[in-house]
Structure 1
Amino acid sequence: MDNLVRLLELAYAAGSVSAVEIMRLGFQREVQEERGWFSFLYGWCVHVADRVAFLNAIIQELEFCIGDMSIAELVVELRSDDGLVFADSIMYFKAIRNFEAEKLANIQLFLQASAAHLNRRMQFLARFNAM
């Protein structure tokens, strides 16, 4: 029933009962939806990439502090076991960074697949626009 309702809605929106017009409008809507999804994925990639860069900066600062504890003493009061705290913190942030980097790689793969899918839908739309 949903398919029939969708078909009737497309026919009404197209202002025609012509199969070509209905298909053209259907593919046009599919392209618009896919472009929205592509835009969302791209924004998510940018967000995760920024997060990875932020985590890299934190790790670099912690590694710098553990390499030169006198610098860290200028910022915070250190105790005898704080070197271990720095080492644990570095391992923790590296684990988070690795997870985020893997997530970014997966999202980028998904983005590539989405781009290919969008191109395929745009080709179908071009066929119906030419008719």
Structure 2
Amino acid sequence: MDGLVRLLELAYSSGAIYVSDVMHFGFQREVQEERSWFSYLNGWCVHVADRLTYLDGIIQELEFCFNHMSEAQLLMELRSGDAIVLVDSIMYFKAIREFEAEKLANLRLFLQASAMHLDRRMLFVARFNAV
């Protein structure tokens, strides 16, 4: 029943009475939806890449403070045990960075698969237009 309702909705939306016109409209809608999904994924990749850059900056600052404790002591008061806190913080942010890097790699793979899927859909629409 859902398929019939979807077909009727497509027929109404397209304003066409011929099945070929309705199907053409449906295929075009699928391509538009896939393009919007692709755009969303691309934006998410940019967001995660920005987060990686931010985490890299935090890690570099923490490592600098740890490696140059005397300079860090000029800027802030250090207590005994702060070196351990710095090491723990560095490890924590590196774990987060590792997770985000893996997420970005997976998103890029998904983006690549989505691009191939979009290309296939566009080819199908082009073939359908030729009929």
TM-score, length of structure 1 as denominator length = 0.94
- Write the distance in 2 (CA, Å) between the matches of 1:14 and 1:84: 66
C-alpha deviation, 1:15, in angstroms = 2.4
Letter of the structure 2 residue corresponding to residue 27 of structure 1: F
Higher-RCO chain (CA-CA 8 Å, sequence separation at least 6): 1
Percent of residue pairs bearing the same amino acid type: 69
Within-5 A mapping of 1:35-54: 35-54=35-54
- Write the distance in 1 (CA, Å) between the matches of 2:36 and 2:49: 20
Match of 1:27 in 2: 27
Match of 1:57 in 2: 57
- Write the distance in 1 (CA, Å) between the matches of 2:111 and 2:37: 9
- Write the distance in 2 (CA, Å) between the matches of 1:113 and 1:61: 37
Match of 1:68 in 2: 68
Match of 1:2 in 2: 2
Match of 1:94 in 2: 94
Match of 1:111 in 2: 111
- Write the distance in 2 (CA, Å) between the matches of 1:130 and 1:71: 71
- Write the distance in 2 (CA, Å) between the matches of 1:74 and 1:97: 29
Gap regions ≥5 residues in structure 2: none
C-alpha deviation, 1:9, in angstroms = 1.6
Count of aligned pairs between the two proteins: 131
- Write the distance in 2 (CA, Å) between the matches of 1:37 and 1:74: 50
C-alpha deviation, 1:93, in angstroms = 0.4
Gap regions ≥5 residues in structure 1: none
Moved over 6 A (4+): none
